[in-house]
Amino acid sequence: MPEMMRAVVIARYAGALEMRRCPVPRPGPGEVLVHVHASGLCSTDLHLLSGRQPLGELPRIIGHELAGEVVGLGDGVTHWQPGDRVTAAIDVTCGQCRHCRTGETQRCPTMRRIGFEIDGGHADYVTVPAANLVSVPAEISDAAAAILPDAIACMYHSLINQGKVGIGQRVLILGVGGLGIHGVQIARSAGADVLATSRRPERLALAEHYGAVPIDTSRQSLETEAASFTEGEGVDLVVDNIGTRASVRQGLSVLRPGGNCWSSATSTRPSRFPPCASSRASWRSSAAAAARSRI
């Protein structure tokens, strides 16, 4: 094992990412050392770099979408072996509090996140709690595995765990970027009929390819299209990946009575969204595996 490694750090906000030589971390009790084979560069990393989403102590090695190979075990780790291919859930939680015990780990009051409050995967090596590891089968590449804990887990949590999406339900996905395009596929796999919005033709084409009805909000009315799609009833579920007051308002405006609107977006502004219009719908922040609950 080398003594030193390369790492991409944020040393100061509003600067540039820096490549540094850092000591290879040693796994503590219950931790595993992972040799990183793939680490996703996420738009969230740009928010972190800007300082709009403070990380606490700097410098920090960022990178919250990682995949690699187990190369070292801390004391007490028994379920993993060197050579195991893994990815890692982002949230490091206590596992003891009421939220953790009821599957709402994203609300754990002591939660810290890999690549945010603790060092992440933009490095040759990273230490990760063994409890956060997920085994990666041989047929999934490192690059594909790396995005599982963020773009896919986040959408899965919003749509399936929280939204309870099923056959015949009507789902609106606001914004089909990195998260939304996976949301389209998950909702379709669950049997839902899906509307997807964007202003970018290539994203809409991809959403359509995966079975969504695309709405180009630069030239189409979401309200009109949603009304036509649902025979005027409104959609059952909105998943908002944009995270602005306007997008939440837009989502609420096309919900059926009793429908749900979940926001999976990162926002750096305080949450002062409008209260839901009476009985029409409910709005919640979902937050799956990552830093998405901060609105």
Can you give the binding site for Zn ion, defined by CB under 5 A?
A: 42, 44, 93-94, 97, 100, 108, 150
Signed CA dihedral, 138, 176, 188, 252: sign only: positive
Locate 109 and state its tokens.
């009051």
* Residue (9 or 42) nearer to Zn ion, CB: 42
Minimum Å distance from CB 93 to Zn ion? 5
Annotated catalytic, 47? yes
**Half-sphere exposure (Cβ direction) of 238: Cα atoms closer than 13 Å:** 35
CA distances in angstroms from 57 to 11, 60, 96, listed in the order given? 9, 7, 26
* Residue (117 or 208) nearer to Zn ion, CB: 117
Locate 37 and state its tokens.
């084979």
**Which one of 37, 44, 64, 230 is the catalytic residue?**
44
Annotated catalytic, 44? yes
* Residue (61 or 215) nearer to Zn ion, CB: 61
- How far apart are the C-alpha atoms of 77 and 228, rounded to whole Å? 55
141-144 own/partner pairs: CB under 8 Å, 24+ apart:
141/38, 142/37, 142/38, 142/67, 142/68, 142/85, 143/38, 143/67
Minimum Å distance from CB 142 to Zn ion? 16
Whether the CB-CB separation of 46 and 35 falls below 8 Å is answered with no
**Which one of 47, 99, 217, 244 is the catalytic residue?**
47
Minimum Å distance from CB 64 to Zn ion? 6
Minimum Å distance from CB 74 to Zn ion? 21
* Residue (108 or 287) nearer to Zn ion, CB: 108
**Residues that are catalytic:** 44, 47
